[in-house]
Structure 1
Amino acid sequence: MRGSHLSRTRTLAAVLTLAVSGAVALAGCGQKQQTVGSAPPPKKPDAFEQRADQIVRDWPQVSPVHGRQQALLPLVGADRPKDTGAREITVTVGHSACDVHFGARSHESKGLVVVTGWGKRKSAKGMCTENLATDKVKIQLKGPLAGRKVVDAATGKQLLKG
């Protein structure tokens, strides 16, 4: 009897040690095993974030993106802000006439503001013309433009210098 009591004590001590360390695996009747205390996987950068990082790293030796991607639509242009302290820029997005939503986004670094247009199309059902629509979109910056270059993510071309 004494041996089984010692065995239960050791088992209980081992379970408590694992529980305190945060690496315990829980299992229930008929349920999958689940690990408790692990961090969620890191968010994978999307196509624009990857492209913006590449432009910042390789500037000014940047080539255009091949093909047309809904997350990296080329910009038609950018309006020069009134002063270098501006925290907002206006760009002209060229998008499909079939896009139900469109806009622009930015990625800021010390010397560059990388911008792109984006669009979301209607469902694939029905016909869609290949007409290009253009609309002005305002982008809020985290910091003042302050002499940074504004670069189109799709083409890799400088649109303006703040």
Structure 2
Amino acid sequence: MRGSHLSRTRTLAAALALAASGVVALSGCGQKQQTVGTAPPPKKQDAFERRADQIVHSWPKVSPIAGRQEALLPLVGVERPKSTDVREITVTVGHSACDSRFGARSHESKGLVVVTGWGKKKSAKGMCTENLATDKVTVRLKSALAGRKVVDAATGKQLLKG
């Protein structure tokens, strides 16, 4: 009886030491052994991901964001898709004529597709006007639109009911 207690204590001490190091080997009733590690640190959300989460949680009571942010440009419009089973939508992004690159991105939930435009300014060298330019951008969806509402992340307004 004493040897059995000592064996369990050593096993527990070894498991605790492995757990402290971030890796634990688990086994039970002679089954296969599993190795479990610590989870990687969560990825830090950017401005768009935080805004999209806020919209999904607060929908439909959403206010527009204040000011212009390169990661959250308002959309000028969205083209109505031919059917609800499409996996891409075309939006018109309003961006600065000084942006060297621009595009759109989306965040999908069960009932919403939150979309934003983004732009990256050219270097500060040379002249540039602050005129508004608009361009159509195709946004690929992870799953079919299927009746979800399309919402502009910058304004919080519904652009389309899919």
Q: Does 2:110 correspond to 1:106?
A: no
Larger Rg: 1
Closer, same or farther: CA 65–38 of 1 in aligned 2, 3 Å: same
Unmatched segments (≥5 aa) in structure 2? 1-13, 22-36
Normalised by the length of structure 1, the TM-score is 0.77
Residues 7-53 of structure 1: CA deviation (Å, up to 9, x unaligned): xxxxxxxxxx69x62656xxxxxxxxxxxx86543211000000000
- Name the SS for the 1:21 alignment partner: helix
Unmatched segments (≥5 aa) in structure 1? 1-16, 25-36
Percent identity, aligned pairs only, is: 79
- Counterpart residue identity of residue 149, structure 2: K
Residues 93-118 of structure 1: CA deviation (Å, up to 9, x unaligned): 00011111100000000110000000
Normalised by the length of structure 2, the TM-score is 0.77
Structure 2 CA distance for aligned equivalents of residues 39 and 111 of structure 1: 29
Structure 1 CA distance for aligned equivalents of residues 81 and 38 of structure 2: 47
CA RMSD of aligned residues (A): 2.0
Q: How many residues align?
A: 136
Instruction: Give the match for residue 141 of structure 1.
Output: 141
Closer, same or farther: CA 39–161 of 1 in aligned 2, 3 Å: closer
What is the 5 A alignment of 1:120-131?
Answer: 120-131=120-131
Moved more, 40-49 or 97-106: 40-49
Structure 1 CA distance for aligned equivalents of residues 130 and 41 of structure 2: 39
